[in-house]
Amino acid sequence: MKLPVPVRVAVALLLLVASSAHAQLFRAYLSPTGSDSNPCTLQAPCRLLPAALAAVADFGEIWLTGSANYNTATVNIGKSVTIIAVPGAVGSVIAIGGPAIRIDTPGANVALRNVVVAQLPGGGGTNGVEVAVAGVFVQLDRSLIANLPGSGIVVSSGNLHVVDSVVRDNGGWGIDVGDGGSVSVATSKLVGNGSGGLRTNRAQAPPVRVPWSTTRSSVAAPTVHGHRRLAADSHASHSSAAPWTAPPQPWESSPRAAVSPG
């Protein structure tokens, strides 16, 4: 029996939607030699993050397989995704004409692992990572954010967790937390930032947690500026704890010397 034309059109559209959904990848791949006309598979990787974000499914992964910059403008992340630079690769996201990365989709769960965020000199970059909406959770894991003209991370709203990472030598704050934001820092260093390591503008309960005694987080002075103190197990001043030798990070060619927390 021949179906009426409207029914055939509806069936075709449903098949097209199903095909598109099925085509999204759990794991998308980027390579310095890739092309954005590719399907972002391991055999045919893409080149830039926007193409991989379009190809990957919600809660999927994007693997940066070689040392390169993987963007030409601000990377707007609008889904839950984990972006990973493989061990040995310096996978960079560069601030050009604004922040390097902006996350402003409610409910998104985003992880950046082993990623370097920096600026393109003279490229008009501002901040490193901007977290700008309530209900989003962002994790920075084993990553470096450095040398931005503005702040390393700006959390105007949403939640940020920083672990095993370094935020250094940025023109503004290492981490700048707005009234709607919250942040926790573990086994990380916020050092050499022009305005200071960490600032909170939140007027309510403390949004900042730096569990120093158990995780050896180091925040260089001026440590914290804001309306409220840090959590009870956090320290904003020099500690008498024994010097800490941080584990070598993927972007470092030689191990770090021991440093005293503070």
Q: What confidence score (pLDDT) does residue 133 get?
A: 92
What pLDDT score does 200 carry? 84
pLDDT the model gives residue 226: 43
Of 72-76, 172-176, 191-195, 213-217, least confident by mean pLDDT is 213-217
User: For residue range 132-177, what is the model confidence (pLDDT) as tens digits?
Assistant: 999 999 999 999 999 999 999 999 999 999 999 999 999 999 999 9
| Domain chopping of the chain, boundaries | 25-226
DSSP string across 185-245: EES-EEES-SSEEEEE---SS--EE--HHHH--EEPSS-EEESSPPPTT--SS---SPPB-
